[in-house]
Amino acid sequence: MSEQQTLFRTHNAGELRKEHVGQSVVLNGWVQRRRDLGNLIFIDLRDRSGFAQAVFQPSEDEQHQLLMAQGDKLRSEFVIAVEGVVAAREAANTKIPTGEIEVKVTKIEILNAAKTTPFYIQDNIEVDENLRLKYRYLDLRRAEMQKIFLLRSKVTTYMRNFMDQNSFIEVETPILTKSTPEGARDYLVPSRVHPGEFYALPQSPQLFKQLLMVSGFERYYQIARCFRDEDLRADRQPEFTQIDIEQSFLSMEQFQAMMEELMTGVFKATIGVDIPRPFPRITYGEAMARYGSDKPDIRFGLELQDLTEQVRGSGFKVFNLAIENGGQVKCIVAPGCATYSRKQIDELEAFVKRYGAKGMAWIAVQEEGVKSPIAKFFSEEELAAIIERAGAQKGDLLLFAADSKKVVADSLGALRSKLGKELGLIDESEFKFIWVTEFPLLEHDEEANRYVAAHHPFTMPMEEDLHLLETDPANVRAKAYDLALNGFELGGGSMRIFNREIQERMFQALGFSLEEAWEQFGFLLEAFEYGTPPHGGIALGLDRMIMIMAGRQSLRDTIAFPKTTSASDLMTNAPSPVVIEQLDSLHIALGGKATTSIEKQEAEETEAK
Amino acid sequence: MSEQQTLFRTHNAGELRKEHVGQSVVLNGWVQRRRDLGNLIFIDLRDRSGFAQAVFQPSEDEQHQLLMAQGDKLRSEFVIAVEGVVAAREAANTKIPTGEIEVKVTKIEILNAAKTTPFYIQDNIEVDENLRLKYRYLDLRRAEMQKIFLLRSKVTTYMRNFMDQNSFIEVETPILTKSTPEGARDYLVPSRVHPGEFYALPQSPQLFKQLLMVSGFERYYQIARCFRDEDLRADRQPEFTQIDIEQSFLSMEQFQAMMEELMTGVFKATIGVDIPRPFPRITYGEAMARYGSDKPDIRFGLELQDLTEQVRGSGFKVFNLAIENGGQVKCIVAPGCATYSRKQIDELEAFVKRYGAKGMAWIAVQEEGVKSPIAKFFSEEELAAIIERAGAQKGDLLLFAADSKKVVADSLGALRSKLGKELGLIDESEFKFIWVTEFPLLEHDEEANRYVAAHHPFTMPMEEDLHLLETDPANVRAKAYDLALNGFELGGGSMRIFNREIQERMFQALGFSLEEAWEQFGFLLEAFEYGTPPHGGIALGLDRMIMIMAGRQSLRDTIAFPKTTSASDLMTNAPSPVVIEQLDSLHIALGGKATTSIEKQEAEETEAK
């Protein structure tokens, strides 16, 4: 069925307009659809630019009858080349860009046939995602998907040029690198040449980019593939892409300003959105207190209200107990929700319980007065004071959390996001960036009973807290800055340690002995002694950024060939068994816990849902 | 020793000129060297842009004495920030760009100290490469290395913009993908979620880019990391970067013209070299016949001369035997080498023997007449005819190969390159591209006793040879085109099979059963049935291209963190042993041929404890 192509495109189908009328053109592309009106055949011919209508008209001419016979064979998704003359349509279709013209076909080549596709090549299809992933090459043929990858390419092109104009050099760092004990689980690659040894795929180019600063490159960037063998949630992929940036000799403020210029520039250039600068800044402490989140969505209010002082010593045991245990009592004021049914409130309570809350007290400020199961524990004055302090109006519903600081933040933070969406408080066309600063340097890992790095072990402590590193590590703040956008963490950055002694102290704070630190990171510690400049940087999640810009819900829509939640590629069937000779040459054998994998089952069950 | 930076750069050191005299500037960078003239201290302060001289001058001022004390502490590679005033030098140094000025220091911050580096941070050092690789971050600090990576970044930036302007979309394809049996050895990544299964790192994005064509992206590019677990030669790296390009609906000629525009554009924009277009084209057959190479260096002549017909039936048995066995007799005419000593000729003979030649006959056309150990087998007329046919002049040396076509090409091709260099026939400032076309589609693999793909199994046969695929596979030519530059293969491209039946026939020609083909490449064969456009592309080796452009001899100089010939990273010590829990979670165990070296490791670990 396939012919040798001799008709090569002169125009993009989607760009034909009235001014082309009378011109002879060649279009190459796919049959979007074919309508046969007996003596006339209409084709929507689609290419990357859009589509145009092509017409096969009958004629006495023998040549033309052959043409009609060809047109008769066409089906959806056939690949064709047509030559023809652009003509004005009798009845213009103003709904489509090419609706004023059609191409009267004089010649056709059928370059390839097509079977009926497993789903329609059109937008807004309701198809099982697994089927879309198996036939990813067809899924990507749909205009809404093409648009995402065009956007992605435009975004990276813009960003690269911005970096280039600001004297950043693109340097590629290795994918086959060394396994390090900190951070997430590594993907490993057995070495054939060195029996029993392994490379690791990088979780980020962190060490290499810092070494490039030691090398005096001063300004580095890379759009870098990174790998984490994590249990996959809906918004994680085993491989992902980050815009990785590192610079020397700039202050934190200078660098942040440059990143704001980058971000506002790319949003303006690619999706035409104006974003004011400078971006607001908030400390981690304030973000957790006001939004219950270290990546607050500031497109709406609904802030957490602290009522700890108002309710201290009240008659309500649950509140008192929380406060006595060093916790807090906070609430969210849901506007206009005072008439929520018991069932609606129960659902909200079930929701916050997922985040560790043991229950959820509430007060409805109804027209006819306060309604609340906890009203009886408070005097009228106390109730009025609570309502006033919370800033609630008639018609509002106060939803409480009383627990440890963490549980209060987690549960009310999640509740805030949920209500923000459900109550329509969010303008989905808005993009609101915010810098979150002064993160804690360390977090206590209860399981391992030691401190772990909140960002990574190379983050510089704030100078004024440095003296606490050994004595009060939990209260050391980091020179770290996350960039949040619409409630997502878009990137994490920091100024780095560039001094051997501080880096050694940091490793020790993480429970390493000096010997262990040198065994694992000796090349970095040594490098710091040969003239290392002050430096810092950021890593921005490209996949997530595109997801937000394109208004999608899943990272899988922003990666051309993504993996499922069980890290499978449904199109190629990767991963897959390999022949034993391959394992032999890598000096490994199947073994360990290989018989059944609970995680795999769980992942498959999740996917099936 | 390290101070908090408060002096931030206002100028690049290497860009200060006379017109800055009188200006107050801040420089940030490294101490390149320090000269102490007792009452004056001179510093060469280096940053990425170059360096400038900074002067510490004595004064009665107490502040100034503190400054001198600071200047006194400085050593090579200290990181500093200085504030000062640009002054004209009394005696300008015209050899350096900043030689007319110096900066009189008024303030200094010592941002970091430095130990004495294991080698000098300067160009043209004579240092063991392993030491350079261990301290790669210092090696990269040298100006000649920085220049290479600046060039590399400029080249990719130019190419990306070219591709963007020509409507190519950058799409990222997976690194964790499926192992396929064709091609080089794969790097494997064990799956934690799927016991006993493995991902493979891609040898190229070939299948994905073809599927993007099925998806209708029409024009794709990616600067893509690729992986081959090969035995490493001097010019190979386990991971390398290719400029990967694929397009639909363009003819081979249109596409080649576009690539020529790309290449000439990037050479002009980055190293200022004008290269004429169109590039010459040569068939594989002609290239092998004339240059003994499928990537001929056409910067010089010294072509292979075919003397098979001249010597057929002569008295020299060695020639006759080669011809009777279906072979050839060819020679190279080394200009002005007639007076080579026996020792010199013996060395050349030893050289060609490495390429399979059993010996090397020669004829020296000396002033006093012909000198040759084989002269006695020929009449004077025969000798004169040989010399004339070879185009030799008085003073030339004819060097012969008589063997199979392959051995003749290999040995004389290598000899040609060697002599071209040694006789100074090559203008090293020239860049000569050439397209090599009409490659054989298949090569017979003696070891496996089957045909293998000369390029890869997705290469389109020339339409006129397609009927020979089953009956005479060795004589099927491919629609493949390699781009050679100065004797290197810069890239390989082809038009692709886009039809299921031809792809199936190709797999069968490679010895696959239909079942095996579908098992391995079912997703591609199936994709071909849903409307696949005619397409083709190329993959250009970026590392090698930079090596040639920068005039370097080793790929390791073009990769920021390269690996040794045993695939080790001497800086990070990758690959390295991992803890047993990591292997357990991947369902693998050390085994196979690994026992001895594991025992060795264990012994070492025990010792360390």
Rounded to 5°, the CA angle B313-B314-B320 comes to 60
Nearest to A577 among B78, B176, B197 (CB): B197
Spans of all domains in chain A = 18-112, 127-277+533-575, 280-299+428-480+502-521, 300-426, 577-608
pLDDT reading at B183 higher than 90:
no
pLDDT digits (tens, 9 = 90+) for B267-295: 999 999 999 999 999 999 999 999 999 99
pLDDT digits (tens, 9 = 90+) for A235-256: 789 999 999 999 999 999 999 9
Q: What per-residue confidence (pLDDT) applies to A460? A: 97
For chain B, say whether A175 makes contact (Cβ under 8 Å).
yes
pLDDT reading at B607 higher than 90:
no
Is B542 known to sit in a ligand binding site? yes
Q: How far away is chain A from the Cα of B186, in angstroms, using its nearest Cα?
A: 9
Q: How far away is chain B from the Cα of A42, in angstroms, using its nearest Cα?
A: 19
For chain B, say whether A578 makes contact (Cβ under 8 Å).
yes
Q: How far away is chain A from the Cα of B246, in angstroms, using its nearest Cα?
A: 15
pLDDT band (50, 70, 90) for residue B609: very low
CB atoms B114 and A530 under 8 Å:
yes
Q: What per-residue confidence (pLDDT) applies to A604? A: 54
CB atoms B2 and A499 under 8 Å:
yes
Cα–Cα distance measured from residue A236 to residue A478, given in angstroms and rounded to the nearest whole number = 26
CB atoms A188 and B582 under 8 Å:
yes
Q: Mean pLDDT, to the nearest integer, of B388-397? A: 96
Q: Which two tokens stand for residue A306?
A: 């602290």
Nearest to A196 among B199, B214, B598 (CB): B598
Q: How far away is chain B from the Cα of A554, in angstroms, using its nearest Cα?
A: 17
pLDDT band (50, 70, 90) for residue B212: very high
SS3 B221: strand
CB atoms A239 and B175 under 8 Å:
yes
Q: How far away is chain A from the Cα of B332, in angstroms, using its nearest Cα?
A: 40
For chain B, say whether A189 makes contact (Cβ under 8 Å).
yes
φ and ψ at A136, to 5 degrees?
-55, -35
Q: What per-residue confidence (pLDDT) applies to B57? A: 85
pLDDT reading at B603 higher than 50:
no
For chain B, say whether A574 makes contact (Cβ under 8 Å).
yes
Q: Report the CATH number of the B18-112 domain.
A: 2.40.50.140
pLDDT reading at B225 higher than 90:
yes
Is B427 known to sit in a ligand binding site? no
CB atoms B178 and A208 under 8 Å:
no
- B429 C-beta neighbours (distance < 10 Å), count: 8
Q: Are B564 and A561 in contact (CB under 8 A)?
A: no
pLDDT reading at B58 higher than 80:
no
For chain B, say whether A531 makes contact (Cβ under 8 Å).
yes
Give the A:B interface size as CB pairs under 8 Å: 429
pLDDT digits (tens, 9 = 90+) for B72-108: 999 999 999 999 999 999 889 999 999 999 999 999 9
pLDDT reading at A607 higher than 90:
no
Q: What per-residue confidence (pLDDT) applies to B230? A: 87
Q: Mean pLDDT, to the nearest integer, of B161-189? A: 92
> Which residue in the block uniquely carries the two structure tokens 């390269």?
B562
Q: Which of residues 122-161 of A touch B (CB under 8 A)?
A: 135-138, 140-141, 146, 149-150, 152-153, 156-157, 160-161
pLDDT band (50, 70, 90) for residue B598: very low
List Cβ neighbours of B119 (8 Å cut-off, separation of 6 or more): B125, B127, B131, B132, B135, B138, B139
pLDDT digits (tens, 9 = 90+) for B445-487: 888 889 999 999 999 999 999 999 999 999 999 999 999 999 9
Q: Mean pLDDT, to the nearest integer, of A7-19? A: 97
Q: What per-residue confidence (pLDDT) applies to A1? A: 55
Q: Which of residues 340-379 of A touch B (CB under 8 A)?
A: none
Q: Which of residues 533-572 of A touch B (CB under 8 A)?
A: 533-534, 559-561, 563, 566-569, 571-572
Per DSSP, helices labelled H in B85-243 are 129-134, 136-139, 143-165, 206-214
φ and ψ at A32, to 5 degrees?
-75, -45
Is B443 known to sit in a ligand binding site? no
User: What integer best gives the mean pLDDT of chain B?
Assistant: 93
CB atoms B572 and A175 under 8 Å:
no
Q: What per-residue confidence (pLDDT) applies to A315? A: 87
Using an 8 Å CB-CB cutoff, list chain B residues near A546. Answer: none
B495 versus A236: the higher-pLDDT residue is B495
Can you say whether residue A486 is alpha, beta or left, with left for phi > 0 and alpha for psi between -120 and 50 degrees? left
Nearest to B575 among A199, A238, A254 (CB): A199
Q: How far away is chain A from the Cα of B8, in angstroms, using its nearest Cα?
A: 7
Q: What per-residue confidence (pLDDT) applies to A596? A: 40
pLDDT reading at B595 higher than 60:
no
SS3 B385: helix
Report the top-level CATH class of A300-426: alpha beta
User: What integer best gives the mean pLDDT of chain A?
Assistant: 93
Best B75, B157, B165, B193 residue to mutate vs chain A (most A CBs within 10 Å): B193
Cα–Cα distance measured from residue B491 to residue B266, given in angstroms and rounded to the nearest whole number = 15
For chain B, say whether A190 makes contact (Cβ under 8 Å).
yes
A162 versus B124: the higher-pLDDT residue is A162
pLDDT reading at B602 higher than 80:
no
Q: What per-residue confidence (pLDDT) applies to A231? A: 79
Q: How far away is chain A from the Cα of B477, in angstroms, using its nearest Cα?
A: 17
**Beta-bridge partners for A152:** none
Best B211, B215, B242 residue to mutate vs chain A (most A CBs within 10 Å): B215
Is A369 known to sit in a ligand binding site? no
Cα–Cα distance measured from residue A457 to residue A441, given in angstroms and rounded to the nearest whole number = 9
Using an 8 Å CB-CB cutoff, list chain A residues near B569. Answer: 174, 176-178
Q: What per-residue confidence (pLDDT) applies to A609? A: 46
For chain A, say whether B171 makes contact (Cβ under 8 Å).
yes
pLDDT reading at B592 higher than 70:
no
Task: Classify the complex by whether its ipTM is higher than 0.90, answering yes or no.
Answer: yes
Is B64 known to sit in a ligand binding site? no
CB atoms B153 and A170 under 8 Å:
yes
Q: Are B296 and B282 in contact (CB under 8 A)?
A: yes
φ and ψ at A571, to 5 degrees?
-80, -50
CB atoms A225 and B530 under 8 Å:
no
pLDDT reading at B60 higher than 70:
no
For chain B, say whether A580 makes contact (Cβ under 8 Å).
no
Using an 8 Å CB-CB cutoff, list chain A residues near B176. Answer: 187, 227, 238-239, 563, 567, 569, 574-575
pLDDT band (50, 70, 90) for residue B236: confident
Strands lying side by side in the sheet with B369-371: B305-306, B328-334, B397-403, B362-366, B369-371
Q: How far away is chain B from the Cα of A346, in angstroms, using its nearest Cα?
A: 37
* Proportion of chain B above pLDDT 90, given as a percent: 87
Q: What per-residue confidence (pLDDT) applies to A592? A: 60
Cα–Cα distance measured from residue A103 to residue A192, given in angstroms and rounded to the nearest whole number = 59
Q: What per-residue confidence (pLDDT) applies to A602? A: 53
Whole-structure pTM value: 0.94
Q: What per-residue confidence (pLDDT) applies to A606? A: 52
Q: Which of residues 43-62 of A touch B (CB under 8 A)?
A: 46-48
Nearest to B572 among A523, A568, A569 (CB): A523
B19 versus A179: the higher-pLDDT residue is B19
Question: Which of A367-381, B55-69, B178-192: highest mean pLDDT?
Answer: A367-381
* Proportion of chain B above pLDDT 70, given as a percent: 96
Q: What per-residue confidence (pLDDT) applies to B314? A: 86
Q: Which of residues 391-430 of A touch B (CB under 8 A)?
A: none
For chain A, say whether B179 makes contact (Cβ under 8 Å).
yes
Q: What per-residue confidence (pLDDT) applies to A486? A: 97
Q: How far away is chain B from the Cα of A39, in angstroms, using its nearest Cα?
A: 26
Which of 3.30.930.10, 3.50.50.60, 3.20.20.140, 3.40.250.10 is the CATH number of B127-277+533-575? 3.30.930.10
Q: What per-residue confidence (pLDDT) applies to A38? A: 78
pLDDT reading at A599 higher than 70:
no
Q: What per-residue confidence (pLDDT) applies to A594? A: 41
pLDDT reading at B599 higher than 90:
no
Q: Mean pLDDT, to the nearest integer, of B314-333? A: 94
pLDDT digits (tens, 9 = 90+) for B94-103: 999 999 999 9
Strand A433-437 relative to strand A281-283: parallel, antiparallel, unpaired?
Answer: parallel
For chain B, say whether A530 makes contact (Cβ under 8 Å).
yes
CB atoms B601 and A196 under 8 Å:
yes
Q: Is residue B358 exposed (0-12), middle (13-18) or buried (19+ Cβ within 10 Å)?
A: middle
pLDDT band (50, 70, 90) for residue A64: confident
SS (H, E, C) B560-591: CCCCCCCCCECCCCECECCCHHHHHHCCEEEC
Torsion of CA B572, B576, B581, B583, to 10 degrees: 120
Q: Which two tokens stand for residue A9?
A: 């495109």
Q: How far away is chain A from the Cα of B49, in angstroms, using its nearest Cα?
A: 10
**Nearest residue in chain B measured CA to CA from A498:** B112
Q: Which of residues 251-310 of B touch A (CB under 8 A)?
A: 251, 254
Q: Are A145 and A124 in contact (CB under 8 A)?
A: no
pLDDT digits (tens, 9 = 90+) for A112-145: 999 999 999 999 999 999 999 999 999 999 999 9
CB atoms B172 and A560 under 8 Å:
yes
Using an 8 Å CB-CB cutoff, list chain A residues near B219. Answer: 48
